[in-house]
């Protein structure tokens, strides 16, 4: 529906099922219905699921903040890391990607609304980090990712998405080969798709309410 409203074809926008806090059994059930790409926010939680579901051809995306001491596990077990936000992380992922695996797909995370509590590079720093990623031997730069400011009475997320789309186009025009603009979640996917998202991250609407954490 969002694609049709935006005048786009459905195949232009991939769906990433956000499976954090959901058990492996629920992921397996959704995979049986045809969903193949799943996003996880916590490395240790994801490693358990990846191990339990290794018999399934799942494409695993890491979409949470990544600490330096977790890059080896991320580089060795995920197909994508969407939250590269500094040079140190990019270099460690490249150095630690196993030689027998294809290059790791990565997105540069952009703090498009400059929120101090959020991860991601500032928009003006995105090109430098993207070019670094594109030049590292064991990484494949795929594009940009953002988590915009939540919509409210004084902020329309569409503004954030338009800025991201402009940045994405500018970097591509500057010679960077990218095909992925990862933005949009259940609450605002229409605005994201209208403004050029190629991948939306959907959790509860696909997998149901998350189990309450015991942390």
Enumerate domains of the chain plus CATH numbers: 2-206 (3.20.20.10)
Confidence of residue 149 (pLDDT cuts 50, 70, 90): confident
Confidence of residue 215 (pLDDT cuts 50, 70, 90): very low
Most confident of 9-13, 174-178, 190-194: 174-178
Q: Is the pLDDT of residue 3 over 60?
A: no
Indicate the pTM of the whole model.
Answer: 0.92
| Angstrom distance (rounded) from CA 32 to CA 49 | 16
Q: Is the pLDDT of residue 11 over 80?
A: no
Task: Please state whether beta strands 199-202 and 14-18 pair in parallel, antiparallel, or not at all (unpaired).
Answer: parallel
User: Quick one: which of 45, 98, 53 has its CA closest to 62?
Assistant: 45
Mean pLDDT of 125-152: 93
Q: Is the pLDDT of residue 125 over 60?
A: yes
Mean pLDDT of 70-78: 98
Contact 96, 70 (CB under 8 A): no
To the nearest whole percent, how much of the chain has pLDDT over 70? 91
- The first and second tokens of residue 215, run together, are 């942390």
């Amino acid at each position: 529906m969002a694609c049709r409203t935006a005048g786009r074809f459905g195949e232009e926008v991939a769906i990433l099922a956000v499976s954090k806090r959901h058990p492996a059994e629920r992921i397996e059930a959704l995979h049986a219905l045809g969903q193949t790409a799943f996003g996880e926010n916590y490395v240790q939680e994801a490693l358990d699921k990846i191990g339990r579901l290794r018999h399934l051809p799942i494409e695993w995306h890491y979409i949470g903040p990544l600490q330096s001491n977790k890059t080896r596990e991320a580089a060795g077990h995920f197909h994508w890391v969407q939250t590269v936000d500094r040079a140190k992380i990019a270099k460690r992922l490249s150095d630690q990607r196993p030689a027998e695996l294809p290059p790791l797909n990565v997105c540069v995370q952009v703090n498009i609304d400059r929120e101090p509590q959020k991860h991601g590079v500032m928009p003006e720093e995105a090109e430098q980090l993207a070019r670094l990623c594109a030049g590292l031997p064991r990484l494949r730069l795929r594009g940009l990712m953002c988590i915009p400011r939540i919509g409210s009475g004084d902020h329309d997320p569409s503004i954030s998405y338009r800025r991201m789309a402009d940045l994405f186009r500018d970097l591509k025009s500057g010679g960077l080969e990218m095909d992925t603009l990862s933005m949009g979640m259940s609450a605002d996917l229409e605005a994201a798709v209208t403004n050029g998202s190629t991948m939306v991250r959907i959790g509860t609407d696909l997998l149901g309410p998350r189990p309450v954490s015991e942390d």
